[in-house]
Structure 1
Amino acid sequence: MPVWDWGYAFQVLPQLLRALLVTLQITVLGSVVALVLGLVIAVVRRAKVPVLDQVLWAVVEFIRSTPLLVQVFFLYFALPRFGVTFSALTVGVIGLGVHYATYTSEVYRAGIDAVPRGQWEAATALSLSPGRTWTGVILPQAIPRVLPALGNYVISMFKEVPLLLAISVIEVVNKAKELGSATFRFTEPYTIAGLLFLVLSYPASILIRRLERRRAAV
């Protein structure tokens, strides 16, 4: 039996590409959750509301200090015992999104802290409402500063999606595993799966590095 069979590789490629779409879907939806929820957490914590700030701090530290896989298992296997059931795909989006929201919230907070204090004072002097201050003054300056860091987390999330094979999400690595188990040829599907990740994540990482250099040059 040859080490590499091109015929078999081309045969399984369409199935792996369809599974890659699932991987990308989870990445995009999880990124939306992580970026939006992370911003909400950062803004709320910036307000320093008594009790709420301590609760959010505890939740963020707990999520960051426990493995993502454990959190996914809890959502998929433990929540149904309390009457809350989600599909494996939904669990993947929620698990990844919430987990990475705890990291993006710190990135946002760093960007907000980097906005000069004079900007806050100017908004106060102009009698801008809190909402207008955030949306018109602070966030337009804070978010561009942290785009490279946020992009790195999106790439990391993309590479974490294969963890969801543990709850039977048919993403590209799980599909490669299924194909290999059915034919006892693992070299081709796993190699193609790895190359697909490389083809997507490496150009994205180059783009992020360019953004970082551009920000540093400003």
Structure 2
Amino acid sequence: MTFDWTAAWDALPQLLDGLVVALWATVLGYVLALVLGLAFALLRRTERAWLRLPVGFVVEFIRSTPLLVQLFFLFFVLPAVGIELSPLATGAIGLGVHYATYTSEVYRAGIDGVPAGQWEAAKSLSLSRGRTWTRVVLPQAVPRVVPALGNYAIAMFKDTPQLTVVTVAEVLSVVKAVGAQNFRYLELITVAGVLYLAAALLIAWPVRALERRYRKETA
């Protein structure tokens, strides 16, 4: 089979549109993962068992089940109880909630890395629990874990092809749709792979920059 450059070029605009959708799903899901992951991490440290235990169960349950199953649940089960989401919203929420369970562990590691003396100093100054977290602990914990959080952005983007099961029109969905018409899967998969690689490298660049900056600051 010879490589048909014309077929690859003709499919490029549609594949680029799919890439934009994949990037949108990644951005929306990543923001949700960062916010929800922090909430999970804080709730799992609360002294209130009625909050800590259920949140811990939810985090472990989500982390221990496949993303694909969770996407099916959001898209096919929730409408049965009256909750209907668009494909893109389903994909973004699915990615965000799934990865929030991982970012929560990253936040936990950062919080555990704050020296005990900082907690004791805040207590000696009679700071409230809220001010201790917002003024002392989190400003020290979050910068420590920024590189690790950035790596999850790359991992999340590479999981966007799974969104094809909930009809999100990302790159793989475009490959399947266009391939069903012209049967030029070699060209479509090749171009899709190049686009995924280019986008992943683009996302990885600021992550690597943050890693280098953090290493310099801690050296």
Which position in structure 2 is the counterpart of 1:170? Answer: 169
Runs ≥4 residues deviating over 4 A: none
Question: Does structure 2 conserve the Cα–Cα contact (< 8 Å) formed by 1:64 and 1:99?
Answer: yes
Matching residue's letter, 2:137: I
1:89 deviates by 1.1
Which position in structure 2 is the counterpart of 1:125? Answer: 124
In the TM superposition, 1:57-206 aligns within 5 A as 57-205=56-204
Unaligned runs of 5+ in 1: none
CA distance, structure 2, for counterparts of residue 48 and residue 197 of structure 1? 44
CA distance, structure 2, for counterparts of residue 48 and residue 165 of structure 1? 41
RMSD of equivalent CA atoms: 1.5
Q: Deviations over 1:69-119 (max 9, x none)?
A: 001101111111111111111111111100000010010010001001111
Paired residue secondary structure (2:85) = coil
1:124 deviates by 1.7
CA distance, structure 2, for counterparts of residue 19 and residue 200 of structure 1? 12
TM-score with structure 2 setting the length:
0.93
In the TM superposition, 1:203-218 aligns within 5 A as 203-205=202-204, 207-217=206-216, 218=218
Q: Percent identity among equivalent residues?
A: 57
Unaligned runs of 5+ in 2: none
CA distance, structure 2, for counterparts of residue 106 and residue 5 of structure 1? 47
CA distance, structure 2, for counterparts of residue 202 and residue 135 of structure 1? 33
- Which 10-residue stretch deviates more, 206-215 or 37-46? 206-215
Matching residue's letter, 1:61: E
Q: How many pairs are equivalent?
A: 217
Paired residue secondary structure (2:49) = coil
CA distance, structure 2, for counterparts of residue 20 and residue 107 of structure 1? 28
Q: Deviations over 1:122-153 (max 9, x none)?
A: 11222222222212211111111111111111
CA distance, structure 1, for counterparts of residue 2 and residue 36 of structure 2? 47
Matching residue's letter, 1:171: E
CA distance, structure 1, for counterparts of residue 20 and residue 211 of structure 2? 28
TM-score with structure 1 setting the length:
0.94
